[in-house]
Amino acid sequence: MTAKKIRRIDLDVLERLILVLYEDTEEKKTNIARDSKMSYDKCVLYLDVLEMMEFVKKNNNGKNTFYSLTAAGINYSNKITSFNYLKQNNIVSTV
């Protein structure tokens, strides 16, 4: 059986996952998929990408695996939320 891969990485999906983890601090894959409104399989693929980028880390507590943001992931999520705030308040324009 071959492992599935992402053909093209959607940056909006990566942002959505980062923001879900930013709000929930530490979550299981199933909850992350639900909160980000993604299929479980696609969520797992994107979590692997974020882990390779060192934005998230896996935490095993024996039976369950939890995901949380690294310092780089927290820094990036702060930038996302700041930019979204500026966009919503028409302080910055987008193309």
Q: Could you identify the residue written with the tokens 């994107």?
A: 46
Q: For residue range 10-20, what is the model confidence (pLDDT) as tens digits?
A: 889 999 999 99
Cβ(8)–Cβ(37) below 8 Å: no
Residue-wise DSSP of 45-58:
HHHHHHHHTTSEEE
Does the structure show a pLDDT above 50 at 2?
Answer: no
Supply the mean pLDDT for the chain: 87
pTM of structure: 0.81
Q: For residue range 60-81, what is the model confidence (pLDDT) as tens digits?
A: 988 899 999 999 999 999 888 8
CA atoms within 13 A on the CB side of 5: 3
